[in-house]
Amino acid sequence: MAIRNVLQLGDPGLRAVAEPVADPTAPQIAALIHDLSDTLAHWRETTGYGRAIAAPQIGAGLRVVFLQLPDAEPWPMVNPVIVERSPEKMVVWDCCLSFLSIFMQVERHCEVTIRYQNLAGKSHELRAGAERDLSELLQHEIDHLDGILQWIGLPIFGPCAPVKSSKRDTDRIVRMTSNAAVSGLWSRPFDPWICRDTI
């Protein structure tokens, strides 16, 4: 199909709430999934980042998410919705293909239950937790469907750190956040490679 441009921070399309898909079996939804797959594969190949992408990130205002987890089959989700959230929360480093040079610590639920449809229109439900960091990943992607970005509308804990930084700057951030984590100011020190496996 096609590698599509990924909307970047500041584009109003990232703040729009996506529309539900009326017919998951429609040819245009299959075509959209192919575009999401090609675009995600391109970003993964060229940057090393990316496990999932939401349709609004390529300018398609529909409630569709595409996951490509390591060593797993492609996983399209149509009309995903969080139907249950655990009371327990965690603070995680979060980043995004739509502003890849910055990431930050945000609060997420430790576990969530997701209901979605596949491309045949069949409904599925899954409980996502710490395994493969699936809970935080799905919360991130569903936020995109609701026009929510990490640093707008979510609690932020700790610094916003540049991913593409010099070794000197990265070492300084690691020292700073390690010291803060020890003193309890936020939960975990900065890991300069963490986003390779979390978005």
**Residues tagged active-site:** 141
* Listed residue (20, 185, 10, 22) closest to 105, CA to CA: 185
Q: Which SS3 state, helix, strand or coil, does residue 117 take?
A: strand
Residues ≥6 apart with Cβ < 8 Å to 187: 90, 91, 105, 157, 158, 181
What is the torsion angle, in degrees rounded to the nearest 10, for the CA atoms of residue 197, residue 42, residue 3 and residue 75? -40
Sign for the CA dihedral angle at 34, 104, 174, 137 comes to negative
Q: Are 96 and 149 in contact (CB under 8 A)?
A: yes
For residue 194, the tally of other CB atoms under 10 A from its CB is 17
